[in-house]
Amino acid sequence: MSNVINIKGEDPRDTICTHLVAEYTTTLEWDLEHLDISVEDIADYHIKYGCLYITFKDGTTVECDRSDYGNTDYKWADKETFYNDQYDKVKVNI
């Protein structure tokens, strides 16, 4: 997806837009103070499927699941991009 092709290019195959991708940003938050977790005690962490996994320096672990994901606001996209069938970015003049 690194190539940017002008819609008025010379090769007609490059100028055909076949995909429009809309991107949305969403966030999850964990209140470490509420969870009684001190950053100084954390040895490692990762987040997968909205669940925070923490390994503490003493070897203990904890899972902090987010059951209140909320809903992503799909009213307005943060970014929209046109692509051709090879997923090269296509510049359109709309």
**17-36 pLDDT tens trace:** 899 999 998 888 899 999 99
**Do 62 and 77 share a domain, yes or no?**
no
Residues forming beta bridges with residue 55, ordered by sequence position: 44, 61
Does the global pTM surpass 0.75? no
- pLDDT band with cut points at 50, 70 and 90 for residue 2: very low
**Do 18 and 31 share a domain, yes or no?**
no
Amino acid letter, residue 34 = H
**Do 64 and 48 share a domain, yes or no?**
yes
pLDDT, tens digit, for every residue of 44-92? 999 998 899 999 999 999 999 876 777 888 899 999 999 998 899 998 8
The position carrying tokens 């669940």 is 51
CA 81, 86, 87: angle at the middle one, nearest 5? 25
Domain that holds residue 86: 1-26+73-94
pLDDT, tens digit, for every residue of 59-69? 999 999 876 77
Amino acid letter, residue 20 = L
**What residues contact 24, with CB distance under 8 A and at least 6 apart?**
72, 73, 74, 77, 78
* Counted domains in the chain: 2
CA 81, 86, 90: angle at the middle one, nearest 5? 35
**Do 43 and 17 share a domain, yes or no?**
no
**Do 14 and 50 share a domain, yes or no?**
no
**Do 56 and 31 share a domain, yes or no?**
yes
What is the C-alpha to C-alpha distance for residues 71 and 65, in angstroms, rounded to an integer? Answer: 16
